[in-house]
């Protein structure tokens, strides 16, 4: 399994943890990242240019609605993993539970199947 991951609006420590965890597994690469100040249009262009399979982002990304709309309109095949630390937000989506390094790798494996 090969997975190309793009990170959006990750706090520095979370980004570093994700990078350490995913680089332990052969075939998973972090191919790019974007910050909260980047426009949805810029982010979509970066996702497309890196040919990312999976985008990992937080619910704090202020351009989230625009990003989702642009990805839907263009018919992008990219998968999204949206992370939150707010339990109330998790119930608006499909909660996957507490995240651990092994759980993160299992989630990536499951998405990429």
Nearest of 104, 103, 53 to residue 79 by alpha carbon: 53
pLDDT band at 18 (very low <50, low <70, confident <90, very high): confident
CATH code: domain 3-112 is 3.40.50.2300
Gap between the Cα atoms of 109 and 47, Å rounded: 20
Gap between the Cα atoms of 26 and 24, Å rounded: 7
What does the pLDDT look like over 49-78, one tens digit per residue?
999 999 988 877 778 888 888 888 988 889
What's the predicted TM-score (pTM) here?
Answer: 0.81
């Amino acid at each position: 399994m090969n997975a190309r991951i793009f990170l959006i609006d990750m706090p520095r420590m979370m980004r570093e943890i994700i990078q350490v965890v995913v680089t332990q597994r052969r075939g998973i690469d972090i191919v790019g990242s974007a910050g909260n100040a980047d426009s949805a249009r810029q982010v979509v262009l970066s996702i497309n240019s890196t040919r990312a399979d999976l985008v990992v982002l937080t619910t704090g990304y202020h351009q989230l609605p625009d990003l989702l709309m642009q990805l839907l309109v263009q018919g992008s095949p990219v998968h999204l993993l949206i992370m939150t630390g707010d339990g109330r937000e998790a119930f608006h989506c499909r909660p996957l539970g507490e995240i651990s390094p092994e759980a993160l790798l299992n989630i990536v494996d499951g998405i990429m199947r």
